[in-house]
Amino acid sequence: MTRPVSLHRASVVKSLEGTVNIMMYRILAIASGALALAACSSSSDWANLNAFKSGPALDTVSLESEPPGAEAKASNGQTCRTPCALALPVDAASSVTFTLNGYQPETEKLEMIQTTGEPPRLRPNPVVVELTPAAPAAKKPAKKPAAKKPAARPKPTAAAAPAPTPMTAAPAQAPSPWPTNPPPVRQ
């Protein structure tokens, strides 16, 4: 029994289409696997596992001063103008120095407190500092400069310029949409 040629050709084409689809899936799988492998190898963190280490524990400390506007500088170098807040590491000894022109600087030490079941925190929080006005600087007695004689002025002569005539009428002005006061009369 022989099949007609057209049926045989249709089944061959159908089997070729299936083979092409399977090949495409394989190529896509290999390409995506190679791309993923290349992406992983570009980062060196996977080799030393630093990506799994957490950073230092931080606590946000509120800073206030009286008067406000003082510069608060933490021992780790962070700065802000009061009132403000800084995220400071809890694992290291910390201090905050407040400075403002005309006032003495104040430094406040922060300590870590650990309670069971809670993350470590810094104390005091909030930090409130009252700045003390700076003592006036001792002034040296200033030497008075020798008094200079005023320069001699020439005496006015009778032939000097005539005195200005008094203004009696206001100058003409264009009408203004805003109310205006009349100019003062000079005498």
CA-CA-CA-CA dihedral for 18, 22, 24, 27, to nearest 10? -160
Residue 101 has what pLDDT?
93
Contact 75, 96 (CB under 8 A): yes
Same domain, 30 and 86: no
List the domain range (segments joined by +) for residue 25: 11-41
Which pLDDT band, with edges at 50, 70 and 90, does 98 fall under?
A: very high
N-term to C-term CA, the chain: 137
Count: domains in the chain: 2
Residue 172 covered by a domain: no
Neighbours of 177 (CB within 10 A): 4
Same domain, 126 and 67: yes
Tokens 């009061």 correspond to: 82
pLDDT in tens, 129-185: 999 998 876 665 556 666 666 666 666 655 555 666 655 555 555 666 665 666 667
Residue 142 has what pLDDT?
58
Same domain, 123 and 62: yes
